[in-house]
Amino acid sequence: MNIMEHNDQLHVEAEEALANINKKTGRNMPQAVATGAVLVIIILASLLIRIDVFVLLIVVFMVLALWELRVDFATVGLHIPVVALWLCSAAILLGTYYSPYHFGTMALLTMATLMLVAILATARFSFGNWLSLAVASKLSSSDAAAREQSSFNHEKGELHHSRLSHVAVSILTVLYIPTLASCIVLSLVFNGHPVAHAITLVFLPALSDTGGLFFGAWFGKHKLSPRISPKKSVEGLFGSILFAMIGAFAVFFCTYDGAVWASRWWVPIVMGVLTGVAGTFGDLCASMLKRDIGIKDMGHLLKGHGGVMDRVDSILMCAPFLAGLLWIVGM
């Protein structure tokens, strides 16, 4: 065998190995890694510039996530008042950060948003061809298997629901996106460590996802919830907890002095377990929602990650637990 044939064989073996990893993880891993690296750079740059820029970045991501949910729900005939949600979500996040009464402002704006959205959800607003094209693209990209497992019959074309159904999914959207995202903003305003808190709440769930992917791809044998998410494994859950724990120790080592470590050495351990479990639960909730609607991905805005919602689901679910833990222990 000459050198060229040997190189060709190695190339084929590498492609087969990568294809197996992509199959186990359910993602295009090279695209996922590249997209993840770009997101890390953008987030770190916003934190280095100013915390206010990071808050605005959260608002941007929430706006994109709300549009993805608007399209996802529209595929089964459910409608949410997305413009009102955009404005109210921005108000909740910015009000929580800039108001001197952070938690009170968040609570009041969230309640006002719930009432306003519940009223507006009974009306239907047109986006012209923009929404129709997005829905058509979403349906065409969803495979037949996902459509068959949906609770809705896609074959009948336009689906009609009671007004209460539109109100229900709109309220779910408020509680799922701006309310959980406001917990990230809340973590920036207490105990004097905004950068460390931002890194903890954003990168720990992402690191946990990475650990789950690698452990699941290499060691995954025992399915965690085969009906909801066939790719999830018990081994992947342990990988998620381990990676999150390592990340928590790294953040704490770079942030706090020895006196804090002496009395709160156990916090990164608890944080790792919380992140692994809550993040995995967030992924399963998103998977259950996708399966019920009959779609494969929440969106297509982030290459290799499906969409913004597929990227932030675990971050959102972890946010109240991590923020609450940091506040309780005074760190």
Provide the pLDDT for residue 248: 93
In a domain, residue 292? The reply is: yes
The tens-digit pLDDT sequence of the chain (331 residues) is 555 554 455 555 555 555 565 555 555 566 666 766 788 889 999 999 999 999 999 999 999 999 888 888 888 888 899 999 999 999 999 999 999 999 999 999 999 999 999 999 887 665 555 565 555 565 565 555 555 555 555 454 455 677 788 899 999 999 999 999 999 999 999 888 999 999 999 999 988 888 888 887 787 677 777 777 777 778 888 889 999 999 999 999 988 887 888 888 999 999 999 999 998 888 888 888 888 887 777 766 655 456 788 778 889 999 999 999 999 998 8
Please answer whether residues 283 and 314 qualify as being in contact, where contact means their C-beta atoms are separated by less than 8 angstroms.
yes
In a domain, residue 177? The reply is: yes
Provide the pLDDT for residue 143: 53
Q: How far is CA 186 from CA 11, 81, 115, 199, in A?
A: 49, 26, 22, 13
In a domain, residue 4? The reply is: no
**Tokens 């510039």, located at residue:** 49
In a domain, residue 30? The reply is: no
In terms of DSSP bridges, do strands 229-233 and 223-225 run parallel, antiparallel, or are they unpaired?
A: antiparallel
Expressed as residue numbers, the domain containing 103 is 38-329
SS (H, E, C) the chain: CCHHHHHHHHHHHHHHHHHHHHHHHCCCHHHHHHHHHHHHHHHHHHHHHCHHHHHHHHHHHHHHHHHHHHHHHHCCCCCCCHHHHHHHHHHHHHHHHHCCCHHHHHHHHHHHHHHHHHHHCCCCCCCCHHHHHHHHHHHHHCCHHHHHCCCCCHHHCCCCCCHHHHHHHHHHHHHHCHHHHHHHHHCCCCCCCHHHHHHHHHHHHHHHHHHHHHHHHHHCCCEEECCCEEEEEHHHHHHHHHHHHHHHHHHHHHHCCHHHHHHHCCHHHHHHHHHHHHHHHHHHHHHHHHHHHCCCCCCCCCCCCCCHHHHHHHHHHHHHHHHHHHHHHCC
**Tokens 């009974």, located at residue:** 122
Q: Can you read off the two tokens belonging to residue 60?
A: 């941007």
Please answer whether residues 224 and 232 qualify as being in contact, where contact means their C-beta atoms are separated by less than 8 angstroms.
yes
Query: How much is the CA Rg of the chain, to the nearest whole Å?
Result: 21
In a domain, residue 14? The reply is: no
In a domain, residue 29? The reply is: no
Q: Can you read off the two tokens belonging to residue 56?
A: 């605005």
Q: Can you read off the two tokens belonging to residue 23?
A: 């199959």
In a domain, residue 148? The reply is: yes
Q: Can you read off the two tokens belonging to residue 157?
A: 């074309």
In a domain, residue 27? The reply is: no
Task: Kindly report the pTM of this predicted structure.
Answer: 0.83
The Cα–Cα gap between 320 and 304 comes to 27
Domain count, the chain: 1
CB atoms within 10 A of CB 90: 17
Dihedral angle, C-alpha 237, 276, 114, 154, nearest 10 ° = -20
